[in-house]
Amino acid sequence: MFQFIIRRILQTIPVLIGVSIIVFSMMHLVPGDPAQVIAGEGAPQEQIDNIRERLGLNDPLPKQYLDYVTNAVQGDLGTSMRSGRDVSSEIGARFWVTVELAFYSTVLAVFVGLIVGIISATRKYSAIDTTLMLAALFGLSMPNFWLGLMLIQWFAIGIDLPSWVPFFSDTAWFSPSGWGSFSQVVLPVITLGTSSAAIIARMTRSSMLDVIGQDYIRTARAKGVKEQIVIYRHALKNALIPIVTVVGLQFGGLLGGAVLTESVFAVNGMGKLIIDSIQARDFPVVQGTILVASLLFVFVNLVVDVAYRFLNKRIDLD
């Protein structure tokens, strides 16, 4: 096990090098002179030369790359062109917002997805199963930015309710923007979590059906074990193994998917930082944020792989 973890960690090293090369090259692949791009059009030559010197753009590319990596490892991702602050402190302020958003969304997705999946699997081909799976398919097919806009319209701007409804005169229950208080968190989390909930529901259903069809479940039933116990203790336990991987991958994916959700709800996380910086052509921040998001994603995948190994002793990853 220990050996497996070490080997898995070593395997991520080439991936990290590749990611850093791509992120580093971004700046140089943008058409035109990066210094000119940063300084803006019509900037005096002197200022361009200044930026050139400060960013080390006169050095040969391999040296620039090594400098970039050396600095990045020490937590120095450069300076924001827009605010003049360190990129790492710009990201630091927003990192946890995005992680929180992705985490809450994953929790919601797992909760809803598991329940829906189990209900569907235990009532295979019934009307409930069909309805739930159709709903899951819709959840999967909805662009989350559109879902976000619709949720804002229905539950933040609100719809006037008829007078016979007690307590509420409209449905403006939640806040349409920002992050922090409960009313601000609800809508972004639903928006981001929906497609993952749908994926987990579908996965749970098919995984449960696979397991329920196996001999040992028939044996348990033949022994007269209660159906509840067959489903939850015997079937679900084994069905969960592939689901863990999906959940982990979803959490990682949500870190990136948060870009659109954060943009819709004006949540000040890493995703919004990327979009704002792209629009302002603030490349050091774009580079830094994408680097951090990818590292986080790689790390999550690593943890998922190890967890999978713990749960399923049968697989051999060689």
Partner 1 sequence: MSRSNEYIEKPQTAVRPPNPRLKSWKSVFNKLKKNKSAVVGGILIILLIIIALVGPYLTPYDPLYDQDVTNKLATPTSDHWFGTDNFGRDIFSRVIQGTGLTLMIGFFSILLGATVGVFLGIIAGYYGKRTDSIIMRIMDVLLAFPSILLALTIVTVLGGNMFNVIIAVAVSSVPIFARIVRGSTLSVKKLEYIDAMRALGASDSRIIFKHILPNITSPIIVQATLSIATAILSASGLSFLGLGAQPPTPEWGAMLSDGRNYLYNAPHVALFPGLAIVVAVLAFNLLGDGLRDAFDPKTRE
Chain residues 274-293 in contact with partner 1, contact rule CB under 8 A = 274-275, 278-279, 286, 290, 293
The conformation of residue 86, written as its DSSP 8-state character, comes to B
Q: Is 131 in the site for partner 1 (CB under 8 A)?
A: no
End-to-end CA distance of the chain: 13
Dihedral sign for Cα 177, 94, 146, 180, please.
negative
Nearer to partner 1, 214 or 226 (CB): 214
Angle at which helix 87-122 crosses helix 283-311, to 10 degrees, equals: 40
Lookup result for tokens 């400060």:
54
Nearer to partner 1, 29 or 73 (CB): 29
Chain residues 184-223 in contact with partner 1, contact rule CB under 8 A = none
Nearer to partner 1, 5 or 150 (CB): 150
Nearer to partner 1, 112 or 292 (CB): 292
The DSSP-derived string for 42-82 is T--HHHHHHHHHHTTTTS-HHHHHHHHHHHHHTT---B-TT
Q: Is 91 in the site for partner 1 (CB under 8 A)?
A: no
Among 43, 140, 225, 303, binds partner 1 (CB under 8 A): 140
Kindly report the number of other CB atoms within 10 A of residue 52's CB atom.
17
Q: Is 30 in the site for partner 1 (CB under 8 A)?
A: yes
Chain residues 233-252 in contact with partner 1, contact rule CB under 8 A = 252
Contact stretch for partner 1 (CB under 8 A) within 39-47, 165-173, 238-246, 272-280: 272-280
Q: Is 22 in the site for partner 1 (CB under 8 A)?
A: yes
Nearer to partner 1, 10 or 222 (CB): 10
> Considering the complex, what minimum distance in angstroms separates the CB of residue 232 from partner 1?
26
Kindly report the number of other CB atoms within 10 A of residue 296's CB atom.
19
Of all helices (H) and strands (E), which one includes residue 133? helix 127-141
Q: Is 19 in the site for partner 1 (CB under 8 A)?
A: yes
Spatial separation of the C-alpha atoms in residues 259 and 243, rounded to whole Å? 25
Q: Is 125 in the site for partner 1 (CB under 8 A)?
A: no
Angle at which helix 236-265 crosses helix 283-311, to 10 degrees, equals: 170
Q: Is 15 in the site for partner 1 (CB under 8 A)?
A: yes
Chain residues 144-163 in contact with partner 1, contact rule CB under 8 A = 145-146, 149-150, 152-153, 157
How many helices (DSSP H) and strands (DSSP E) are in the chain?
13, 0
> Considering the complex, what minimum distance in angstroms separates the CB of residue 147 from partner 1?
8
Identify residue 150 by its one-letter amino acid code: M
Spatial separation of the C-alpha atoms in residues 312 and 251, rounded to whole Å? 20
> Considering the complex, what minimum distance in angstroms separates the CB of residue 239 from partner 1?
17
List residues binding partner 1 (CB under 8 A): 14-16, 18-19, 22-23, 26, 29-31, 137-138, 140-143, 145-146, 149-150, 152-153, 157, 252-253, 255-257, 259-260, 263-264, 274-275, 278-279, 286, 290, 293-294, 297-298
